[in-house]
């Protein structure tokens, strides 16, 4: 069983600030973490390997410091890690990102399963998983909340829906995107941390994965960010007085126009 | 204060801290309320390799020392010393094997403890043998190829939850202090059972029971070390483990100080946050000073022990007394800083104050520790 988990390094949501001049994310001095959904993808991959044998490869496209989240994944049980990193990838949107990841997956080689988080907490598009599946020409299931059965040939899954869940069976090779209900990620182990410290992270450049320069980074990204701005904050303060019933009446009246 | 930990020690702290913050703290009140054994948390700790810290690498462990276990226990203690006690008692249960066990015994038992597949417990105390271990009544008599055990151990941590019990029994009453031996009893051995869980003031998530031996028959090779060396092994075991109890005290006090200081900044009386009152500030300052002094002593003692000096009884006892008396005082003062709110179950310091008391009692009461330090002084100054 060969599993590839795509992980993204994102700014810690607890720590996000906008640069008031440029209105873009102030990344300077902001803590980076593994995209929280991806932690669950790594956990599920490690559980499947514990059940069925095989190996788990974690893959990230990002700057050199994205090595940190790859090492974190190793400390939680992943076997090996690949970082695709190149200045030419800068400014990639979901289209270019999924192209790049697909090229990298092909270099890594044969696989049974690819796991992604449902969405990244910074870009938030939830497009990379499906985009990658499309490029790899494999079936995919989004928002997986439970793996019911796992064998060497495929999985039985629950897909989270607005009003319940679907039960789906699927054969390998396939791609899943996962939600947080799927599992509780383990705390890294001491041996895992030692291994992560020493692990060699495989580095791939644009040339290594045979990427077409026109399909990566800014040139390969049809999305153009024209303007980023924080929504205008319009806060009104109202103080209600009188007895409790009066106050509730005033509150209801004041909310009414917005309903 | 920076204690210049190694990278590996930072890893231990990081893992223990994550388990404490993400697993123990959210569950501690419920575990306490229900006297519930924290099996799932201990399993997570096992998966993270924490049980392997004191076990040599050749037996599947991490090969760590006293300081490594102290660092882990300090973090766990910040969350809940009930959970910390369950963890520490498993280490306590295997120290006799590490100290005096044969290679075969270590190979048989230690890998499963390192991986967390099995828990251990240590059985010394009896109804008439508390501080005075010479009162032990439990006997082990050799009958052919088997030891036959009779007697009852009392207040044994991890009783009913452990699979491996290292116990002290009298093998030759005529030899006095040289008549006791240590043996391994396994869950399921014929004639061995555990009593019901005791109802306790604190550390309620840890399990405390009797161990009952009624013509309990175990194979001859369960003897740890040579016959008659039981008390020596017990003393060495407790000397090694006491800094861990001190570390639980450090963690508990840190947790109490964190709660009290945070609260004192938020609570407004007479138009000011109460931290602005000098009387409250001084109380918090004394808590912080005592805690840091205790931490420096415990860390220093642990590093001293890791250098394998000949005799560690005195430093081991000193750090246990100081850190656990400090923890009791800091927990009590944290309740005081928080006033009536501190006395309520909704706030964690109520539990911390109940829990702290055990640290001054088990693994040798603080009076007994002072006896040890005093006797050592008597020896040292007698030589001059
Ligand atoms: C409107 C908009 C504005 C943008 N603005 C900027 C900008 O200002 N600056 C900028 O640099 N980029 C910008 N981007 C690019 C955006 O960060 C990329 O699209 C990003 O690489 C992937 O999209 P996502 O974060 O939405 O991922 P999602 O599709 O939400 O992620 C789902 C999953 O895909 C996988 N995944 C995603 N990215 C990676 C990766 N790099 N490596 C490995 N696995 C991955 C993970 O498993 C993740 O959980 C913008 C994109 C959009 C749509
Ligand atoms: C929750 C809990 C868990 C425990 N877990 C374990 C365990 O896992 N394994 C195990 O073997 N035991 C365990 N014990 C037992 C514990 O170690 C004993 O309770 C402790 O050693 C004290 O013995 P005692 O309670 O009989 O007190 P006693 O010895 O009866 O002492 C009563 C009081 O007299 C004082 N005192 C006694 N002798 C002297 C003296 N010579 N000088 C000055 N003061 C003295 C003591 O300090 C104490 O204040 C546990 C106890 C508890 C409560």
Per-residue model confidence as pLDDT tens digits over A206-238: 999 999 999 999 999 998 878 777 777 777 788
pLDDT band of B89, cuts 50, 70, 90:
very high
In a domain, A133, yes or no: yes
Q: Is A180 on the interface with B (CB under 8 A)?
A: no
Residue A26, pLDDT above cutoff 90 = no
Please say whether the beta carbons of B300 and B247 come within 8 A.
no
Q: What is the CA angle B118-B121-B122, rounded to 5?
A: 150
Q: Number of CB pairs < 8 Å for A and B?
A: 36
CATH number at residue A163: 3.40.50.620
Please say whether the beta carbons of A57 and A108 come within 8 A.
yes
The reply to whether ligand 1 has any atom less than 6 angstroms from the CB of A33 is no
- pLDDT for A19 equals 73
**CA-closest residue to ligand 1 atom 43:** A60
Residue A22, pLDDT above cutoff 70 = no
In a domain, B105, yes or no: yes
State the smallest CA–CA distance between residue B30 and chain A in angstroms.
20
Averaged pLDDT, A39-61: 97
pLDDT in tens, B180-231: 999 999 999 999 999 999 999 999 999 999 999 999 999 999 999 999 999 9
Residues B222 and B266 in one domain: no
Residue B316, pLDDT above cutoff 70 = yes
In a domain, B1, yes or no: no
Ligand 2 atom closest to the CA of B124, numbered from 1: 11
Restricting to B residues 289-348, those with a Cβ less than 8 Å away from any Cβ of A are none
Residue A20, pLDDT above cutoff 90 = no
Residue A72, pLDDT above cutoff 90 = yes
- pLDDT for B381 equals 93
Q: What are phi and psi of B303, to 5 degrees?
A: -65, -35
Q: Is B19 on the interface with A (CB under 8 A)?
A: yes
Among residues B229, B263, B284, the one where a domain terminates is B229
- pLDDT for A24 equals 66
pLDDT in tens, A97-128: 999 999 999 999 999 999 999 999 988 899 99
Query: For the ranges A191-195, A217-221, A255-259, B284-288, which has the lowest average pLDDT?
Result: A255-259
Q: How far is CA B25 from CA A28, A183, B46, in A?
A: 32, 20, 18
Domain span at residue A197 reads 2-223
Residues B95 and B187 in one domain: no
Residue B158 CA neighbour count, 13 Å, CB half: 28
- Tell me how far the alpha carbon of residue B365 lies from the centroid of ligand 2, in angstroms: 6
In a domain, B216, yes or no: yes
Residue A23, pLDDT above cutoff 90 = no
- pLDDT for A29 equals 72
Residue A147, pLDDT above cutoff 80 = yes
Residues B214 and B239 in one domain: no
In a domain, B360, yes or no: yes
pTM: 0.89
Enter the tokens of residue A92.
């990639």
In a domain, A257, yes or no: no
Q: Is B44 on the interface with A (CB under 8 A)?
A: yes
Q: Mutate which of A120, A177, A185, A229 to test ligand 1's pocket (most atoms within 8 Å of Cβ)? A: A120
Residue B384, pLDDT above cutoff 70 = no
Domain span at residue B197 reads 121-229
Residues B249 and B303 in one domain: yes
- pLDDT for B83 equals 98
Going across the sheet that includes A55-61, the strands are A164-171, A154-161, A140-150, A174-178, A113-117, A2-6, A55-61, A80-84, A202-204
**CA-closest residue to ligand 2 atom 30:** B130
In a domain, A204, yes or no: yes
DSSP state of B171: S
Residues of B in contact with A187 (CB under 8 A): 15, 18-19, 22-23, 44, 47-48
Residues B95 and B136 in one domain: no
pLDDT in tens, B279-296: 999 999 999 999 999 999
In a domain, A201, yes or no: yes
State the smallest CA–CA distance between residue B47 and chain A in angstroms.
6
Note the residue count of chain A: 259
Residues B306 and B216 in one domain: no
In a domain, A235, yes or no: no
Residues of B involved in catalysis: 363
Task: Identify from A14, A39, A46, A190 which residue to disrupt to test chain B contact, counting B C-beta atoms within 10 A and taking the largest count.
Answer: A190
Q: How many helices (H) and strands (E) does chain A have?
A: 6, 11
The overall average pLDDT reported for chain A is 93
B48 with A197: Cβ contact below 8 A: no
The reply to whether ligand 1 has any atom less than 6 angstroms from the CB of A40 is no
CA–CA gap between residue B353 and residue A221 (Å, rounded) = 60
In a domain, B2, yes or no: no
Among residues B195, B212, B229, the one where a domain terminates is B229
- pLDDT for A122 equals 87
Residue of A nearest to B8 (CA): A194
Averaged pLDDT, B126-136: 95
Q: How many domains does chain A have?
A: 1
Residue of B nearest to A188 (CA): B48
In a domain, A238, yes or no: no
The reply to whether ligand 2 has any atom less than 6 angstroms from the CB of B86 is no
Averaged pLDDT, A50-79: 96
Ligand 1 atom closest to the CA of A115, numbered from 1: 47
The overall average pLDDT reported for chain B is 97
CATH number at residue B108: 1.10.540.10
In percent, how much of chain A has pLDDT > 90? Answer: 80
- pLDDT for B113 equals 97
CA–CA gap between residue A221 and residue A225 (Å, rounded) = 10
Q: Is A18 on the interface with B (CB under 8 A)?
A: no
State the smallest CA–CA distance between residue A192 and chain B in angstroms.
8
pLDDT in tens, B361-382: 999 999 999 999 999 999 999 8
Residue A68, pLDDT above cutoff 90 = yes
In a domain, A166, yes or no: yes
Residues B283 and B321 in one domain: yes
- pLDDT for A234 equals 77
Among residues B69, B84, B118, the one where a domain terminates is B118
Q: Nearest Cβ partner of B18 from A187, A194, A197? A: A187
Q: Nearest Cβ partner of A190 from B11, B22, B23? A: B11
A191 with B49: Cβ contact below 8 A: yes
- pLDDT for A130 equals 97
B19 with A187: Cβ contact below 8 A: yes
State the smallest CA–CA distance between residue B76 and chain A in angstroms.
14
CA–CA gap between residue A97 and residue A83 (Å, rounded) = 13
Enter the tokens of residue B164.
């491996």
Averaged pLDDT, A55-78: 96
pLDDT band of B352, cuts 50, 70, 90:
very high
Averaged pLDDT, A187-214: 96
Residues B309 and B319 in one domain: yes
CATH number at residue B352: 1.20.140.10
Residue of B nearest to A75 (CA): B48
CATH number at residue B200: 2.40.110.10
In a domain, B189, yes or no: yes
Q: How many helices (H) and strands (E) does chain B have?
A: 11, 10
Residues B205 and B337 in one domain: no
Residues B248 and B208 in one domain: no
Residues B109 and B141 in one domain: no
Residues of B in contact with A197 (CB under 8 A): 7
In percent, how much of chain B has pLDDT > 90? Answer: 98
- pLDDT for A12 equals 87
Residues B235 and B376 in one domain: yes
State the smallest CA–CA distance between residue B12 and chain A in angstroms.
7
Ligand 1 atom closest to the CA of A41, numbered from 1: 47
Q: How many domains does chain B have?
A: 3
């Amino acid at each position: 069983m060969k599993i590839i988990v795509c992980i993204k390094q994102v700014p810690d949501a607890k720590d996000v600030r906008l640069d008031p001049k440029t209105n873009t994310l102030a990344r300077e001095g902001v803590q980076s973490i593994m995209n929280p959904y991806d932690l669950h993808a790594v956990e599920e991959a490690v559980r499947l390997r514990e059940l069925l044998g095989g190996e788990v490869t974690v893959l990230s496209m990002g700057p050199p410091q994205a090595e940190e989240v790859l090492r974190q994944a190793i400390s939680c049980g992943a076997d090996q890690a690949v970082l695709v990193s190149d200045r030419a990838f800068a400014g990639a949107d979901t289209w270019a990102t999924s192209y790049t990841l697909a090229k990298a997956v092909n270099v890594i080689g044969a696989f049974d399963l690819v796991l992604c988080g449902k969405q990244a907490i910074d870009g938030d598009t939830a497009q990379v998983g499906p985009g990658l599946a499309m490029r790899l020409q494999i079936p995919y299931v989004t928002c997986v909340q439970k793996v019911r059965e796992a064998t060497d040939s495929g999985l039985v899954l629950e897909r989270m829906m607005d009003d319940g869940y679907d039960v789906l069976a699927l054969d390998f090779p396939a791609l899943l995107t996962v939600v947080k209900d799927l599992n509780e990620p383990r705390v890294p182990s001491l041996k895992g941390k030692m291994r992560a410290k020493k692990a060699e992270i495989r580095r791939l450049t644009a040339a290594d994965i045979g990427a077409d320069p026109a399909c990566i980074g800014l040139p390969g990204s049809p999305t153009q960010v024209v303007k980023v701005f924080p929504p205008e904050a319009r806060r009104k303060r109202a103080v209600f007085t009188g007895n409790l019933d009066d106050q509730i009446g005033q509150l209801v009246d004041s909310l009414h126009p917005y309903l | 204060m920076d204690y210049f930990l190694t990278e590996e020690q930072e890893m231990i702290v990081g893992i223990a801290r994550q388990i404490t913050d993400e697993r123990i703290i959210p569950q501690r009140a419920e575990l306490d309320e229900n006297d519930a054994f924290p099996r799932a948390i201990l399993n997570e700790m096992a998966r993270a390799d924490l049980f392997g810290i004191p076990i040599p690498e050749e037996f599947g462990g991490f090969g760590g020392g006293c300081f490594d276990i102290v660092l882990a226990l300090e973090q766990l203690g910040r969350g809940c010393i009930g959970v910390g006690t369950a963890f520490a008692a498993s280490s306590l249960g295997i120290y006799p094997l590490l100290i005096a066990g044969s290679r075969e015994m270590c190979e048989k038992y230690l890998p499963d403890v390192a991986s967390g597949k099995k828990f251990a417990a240590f059985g010394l105390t009896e109804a008439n043998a508390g501080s005075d271990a010479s009162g032990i009544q439990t006997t082990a008599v050799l009958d052919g190829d088997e030891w036959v055990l009779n007697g009852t151990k009392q207040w044994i941590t991890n009783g009913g939850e452990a699979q491996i019990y290292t116990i002290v029994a009298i093998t030759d009453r005529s030899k006095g202090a040289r008549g006791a031996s240590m043996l391994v009893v396994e869950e399921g051995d014929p004639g061995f059972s555990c009593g019901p869980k005791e109802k306790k003031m604190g550390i309620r998530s840890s399990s405390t029971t009797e161990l009952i031996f009624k013509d309990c028959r175990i194979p001859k090779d369960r003897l740890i070390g040579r016959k008659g060396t039981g008390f020596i092994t017990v003393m060495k075991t407790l000397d090694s483990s006491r800094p861990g109890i001190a570390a639980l005290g450090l963690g508990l006090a840190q947790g109490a100080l964190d709660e009290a200081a945070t609260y004192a900044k938020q609570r407004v009386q007479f138009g000011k946050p109460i931290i602005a009152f000098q009387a409250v500030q001084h109380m918090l300052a004394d808590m912080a000073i005592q805690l840091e002094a205790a931490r420096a002593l415990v860390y220093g003692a642990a590093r001293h022990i890791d250098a394998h000096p000949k005799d560690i009884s005195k430093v081991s006892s000193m750090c246990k007394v100081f850190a656990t008396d400090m923890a009791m005082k800091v927990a009590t003062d944290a309740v005081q800083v928080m006033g009536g709110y501190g006395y309520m179950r909704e706030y964690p310091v109520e539990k911390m104050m109940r829990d702290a008391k055990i640290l001054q009692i088990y693994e040798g009461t603080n009076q007994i520790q002072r006896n040890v330090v005093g006797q050592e002084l008597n020896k040292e100054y007698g030589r001059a």
